[in-house]
Copies of this chain bind each other. A is one copy, B any other.
């Protein structure tokens, strides 16, 4: 454990010299929002000593150099929509907010790429692409609030990963400020590359512990011209989930396959105060299909309809896209509405193991008497399991949750799964990481961290324990 220094008036002055007085936040009221992300349990909140808002990579580099000299921790922060406390300054120090670096620098419609700063909202990226009849494939549920830089730092997944992969696959190159305050460009606007280590891939998903992303070059695609959302209602979980391998084997790659169990459908319905189709009857599978032409679209829709019915669907609709996605994207809010404090697991397992995982979740929930809500990106094996605290006392909740998680992740790892599909480890899952990750793998990660950040100033205490 490093003995970090506190921020002195001299350090504060030095910071002001870098970004100017105006972009330093040191009063309590204005610092408070930077003490947490979307995790509601206040025991996971921690106040930064100061919040600094740089406007370019040069300023970020200067801040990092200063922090190394003074041995002060720096926690990079995007929109603060994280779910694993990755942006929470657990050792105090500096929160380096990238909110001012919010410019779309270039949209190149001929060569299909976009250059953006990290503080651009993800939906702004989507909109800017669409304006040119192009498509940015990253689509986290929090797209209307999260930043693209945070998407890269956590390798955000989202709804379209089944077809287009995670954020990793959408990134050509990154400008990064290293933990020692150097500016470097990693990757390239290239479809192939074997020119030394893939450091861009190392940075993506490293949750701000190995570098601060200050610019991103993103891959764009032609905008799919024909898209349809299909809602299929199933009487039981197994037949619903079995749609995933069924579709893949038939050569249909849906853009996404979302699963909401019946209890969750009702919870969402109650929250958004809108009647959802057949919400009294079964579990939802939401499928999005893209086609090259209207004919192609029609062919695929018929095929999907037939396959769903064959797999036991009660009914299959062409869905009201706006309504059904509003329902899906309200899941997190609906859960929060039911229980302000809740455990938010982000399980990922091989796609063919989802039915088994769902059964185990049901067994464990029952065994522990815990109320759970589940929404899954079923097409990619990512299960969002939310556990409601309700009125359970803190001490009991902590103990129950810990034991539950222990049994849960033992099953997850047995099935070839991992701790987190898209939310990241951050601070919240770091003890689970220490328990469940291969010790050799952990040691490799720690070695890399120490090698690149010898003073351990960059987002310390995240992913694994501080050394």
Contact = CB atoms under 8 A, between A and B. Distances in A.
B292 A251 contact: yes
A23 B190 CA distance: 42
Given A184-B438, A205-B198, A445-B199, A193 B155 contact: yes
B196 A464 contact: yes
B422 A196 contact: no
A467 to B, nearest CB: 12
Contacts of A382: 191-192
A441 interface: yes
Interface in A167-223: 168-169, 178, 182-186, 188-199, 201-202, 204-207, 210, 222
A111 to B, nearest CB: 4
A154 to B, nearest CB: 5
A326 interface: no
Interface in A343-394: 346, 348-352, 377, 379-382
Contacts of A296: 292, 296
B416 A188 contact: yes
Interface string A88-110: 00000000000000000000001
Contacts of A419: 195
Contact of A380 (B155, B192, B197, B443): B192
Contacts of A201: 198, 201-202
A80 interface: no
Interface in A7-66: none
Interface residues of A, number: 84
Contacts of A348: 188, 190-193, 195
A297 interface: no
Contact of A194 (B155, B222, B251, B380): B155
A319 interface: no
Residue of A195, A348, A379, A423 with most partner-chain B CB within 10 A: A195
Nearest to A251: B222
Interface stretch (A70-78, A118-126, A329-337, A446-454): A446-454
Given A186-B441, A444-B184, A204 B198 contact: yes
Given A251-B222, A352-B110, A157 B192 contact: yes
A282 interface: no
A79 interface: no
A440 B177 CA distance: 10
15 contacts: A111-B351, A182-B443, A184-B444, A188-B418, A192-B380, A194-B424, A195-B419, A195-B425, A196-B425, A196-B433, A199-B445, A222-B249, A225-B251, A448-B451, A450-B451
Q: Closest 9 A-B residue pairs measured CB to CB?
A: A451-B451, A201-B201, A191-B380, A184-B440, A195-B418, A192-B421, A157-B192, A447-B451, A111-B352
Interface of A: 110-112, 154-157, 161-162, 165-166, 168-169, 178, 182-186, 188-199, 201-202, 204-207, 210, 222, 225, 245, 248-251, 292, 296, 346, 348-352, 377, 379-382, 416-425, 433, 437-438, 440-445, 447-448, 450-452, 463-464
Given A192-B382, A194-B423, A251-B292, 10 more contacts: A111-B245, A155-B194, A157-B194, A166-B192, A188-B416, A195-B348, A195-B419, A197-B202, A197-B210, A197-B463
